[in-house]
Amino acid sequence: MLKEKIEQLSKAYFESYRSVRHHLHAHPELSYKEFNTSTFIQQHLNELNIPYQVMAETGVVALVEGKKSDRVIALRADIDALPIQEENNIPYASTVPGVMHACGHDVHTSILLGAAKILNETRGDWEGTVKLIFQPGEEKNPGGASIMIKEGVLENPAPRAIVGLHVHPILETGKLSFIAGKSMASADEIYITVKGKGGHAATPHLTADTVLTASELVVALQQVVSRDRNPFSPSVLSICAINGGFTTNVIPSEVKLMGTFRAMDEKWRFDAHKRIQEVVDGVAKSTGAEIELKIDVGYPTVYNDPVITERARSIASETFGTSNVEEGELRMGAEDFGYYSQKIAGCFFRLGTGNKKKNIISGVHTPTFDIDEDAIEIGMRMMATLGATL
């Protein structure tokens, strides 16, 4: 009866939370600046009579109490947007120049608010406490999850498990996907500055050629992944920007490089950091340039607890049918949900939001990203069911 009631409420409140999504999508805010978004969430929780507290300045943590029990489950949604100019011609397009909900966090927030309403109305039918985490700053280091954990989001009460979802435009609406164990990579930012005596391009022997040194670095660093890494351990090292020089006949005194390093294994991740430093030192010695390396340590790997994930997968199959539940894939993208899953049992799953017939096919982090909004009802139903029964 509980699952049937959740299904009925999800359908009944779908239009309301589609409207919530439209509001959030039209008013996006960047990481750690989600002040209006946070206020909107708080106002909505006040209307539902759900108690909450503010954490990490713009984060909101609410509690829905069911029948008395020690069981505590956390449900998480991220609330920040991206610095992207929206190109969609839709009534609810972003009204903020250069800022867009291009990763679906407006969807995540709307779904969790909808689940909050459903859980609140059914609290006499399930046991324990559901902790609702509306988290800022997922898109930018150090990650809002790390800040909220430091401020005690996983305490008082301490959840035994945490669940999060993410929109997935590659997956058709109506489907969900789960993967146990390692599911997403760690992500570290690489910043390199090459310094040397500049000079006339016609007399390179009187310089320490920073452009040549930078070029050697780009090639040499690939050996970290191609030769030092266990080939059965996925890893990526990409240098994505080179900036230096200003004309055709001057060797510059400084060149800057930026890139990313990703791994699925935490031990290899930090071993690789040491190896990157060794490569940088070796190139510096061979070229006579001075090279400064900074590795900004970012999000850890996302690890899905096998027991919790299998339970969540089973609930999804019972709720939506086995044919609508798929096996997920390893992804080299990163998510600060990894901070939670390193601390307690976690399950981070994918919610299908694509629809080829409606031409809803754009990927996340693109200016034309959008979703088939039927997915909102599915997400509300799934998150509420997990909160009540996981």
Active site positions, annotated = 80, 138
The secondary structure of the chain in percent helix, strand, coil, rounded to multiples of 5, reads 40, 30, 30
Cβ-contact 180, 220 below 8 angstroms? no
Q: What's the CA gap between 356 and 84, in Å, rounded?
A: 24
Q: Which amino acid is residue 113, in one-letter code?
A: L
Q: Dihedral through CA 117, CA 364, CA 349, CA 3, nearest 10?
A: 30
Cβ-contact 299, 78 below 8 angstroms? no
Cβ-contact 85, 97 below 8 angstroms? yes
Q: What's the CA gap between 2 and 303, in Å, rounded?
A: 30
Cβ-contact 176, 111 below 8 angstroms? no
Q: What's the CA gap between 69 and 273, in Å, rounded?
A: 45
